[in-house]
Amino acid sequence: MVKNINQNSRSYWQCSECGFKYAGKEWAEKCEAWCREHKTCNVEITKQAIQEVSGKEKWIQKQAEREEGQKKIQQKKKMKKIVKIVLIFLIVGTGTFALNWYFSSRPKLMESETIARNGLHWHPEIKITILGKNQEIPANIGLGITERPIHTHDNMGVIHLEFPGLVKKEDVRLGRFFEIWGKQFNQNCIFDSCNGPEGQLKMLVNGQENFEFENYTMKDGDKIEIIFK
């Protein structure tokens, strides 16, 4: 009775009389029948055994080579995917670190320096008198190709403060308005008139004398008077 055996992870059929191994059961049975009848092997049959086993060995080897090739391809694809994921994590991690570093290294804005976080629209009024003569506040200061957050629409002395987002005290200093206007104003001078023999500079805010001058933080509804006399 022919035997099915496994050798080196491969399956064969073996003649129980002579021990030859065959790739197929049919040739193993032919060999066994011949050996029992003639007490010897048949050359043609054993030749077939050699050819079958050799052919199977080659087929198995090629199959193993194909499988090994597929494994290498899959490993390369897997490695590329891993490298891609690692690169993405590195880029995202580096970007996150850079952003965190940037924001953490920026000077922290003190809450006391913040006027508004969601923008504002205020309207202080200003009046300038130099040696008894009222000075006109022109229309369209700060308006042109671009609209500055601090501007005027007419010559009635109303300053428009129209800011989006975060607004700091520095943004609404009175001196900013004069910078946009292109005129001189500080604790000593208004336009070309400076403290001296000709007169002294004074500023009132809502009827009260104020000594902040260009550093004064404007507020909605302020009545600001700058007087040189």
pLDDT in tens, 170-227: 999 999 999 999 999 999 999 999 999 999 999 999 999 999 999 999 999 999 999 9
Tokens of 206: 């809502």
pLDDT at res. 61: 61
Say if residue 119's pLDDT is above 60.
Answer: yes
Burial 8-33 (b: 16+ CB within 10 A, else e): eeeebbbbebbebbbbeeebbebbbe
Say if residue 10's pLDDT is above 80.
Answer: no
Confidence tier at 56 by pLDDT (50, 70, 90): low
The structure's pTM equals 0.53
- What percent of the chain is predicted at pLDDT more than 70? 84
Residue that wins the pLDDT comparison between 57 and 37 = 37
CATH topology of domain 113-228: Ferric Hydroxamate Uptake Protein; Chain A, domain 1 (2.170.130)
The span from the CA of 83 to the CA of 93, in Å, is 15
Tell me the sheet residues that pair with 226.
128, 203
- What percent of the chain is predicted at pLDDT more than 90? 48
All structural domains of the chain with their residue ranges: 3-102, 113-228
pLDDT at res. 57: 55
The overall average pLDDT reported for the chain is 85
Confidence tier at 71 by pLDDT (50, 70, 90): confident
> Residue 135: left (phi > 0), alpha (psi -120 to 50), or beta?
beta
- What would the DSSP string read from start to end of the chain? --EEEEETTEEEEE-TTT--EESSHHHHHHHHHHHHHHSS--HHHHHHHHHHHHHHHHHHHHHHHHHHHHHHHHHHHHHHHHHHHHHHHHHHHHHHHHHHHHHHHSPPPPGGGEEESS-EEE--EEEEEETTEEEP--TTTT-SSS--SEE-SSSSSBPEEEE-S-EEGGGGBHHHHHHHHT--BSSSEETTEESBTTB-EEEEETTEE-S-GGG-B--TT-EEEEEE-
The span from the CA of 229 to the CA of 226, in Å, is 10
pLDDT at res. 55: 55
Say if residue 166's pLDDT is above 80.
Answer: yes
Residue that wins the pLDDT comparison between 42 and 128 = 128
CB contact at 8 A, 130 and 193: yes
Mean pLDDT of 130-157: 94
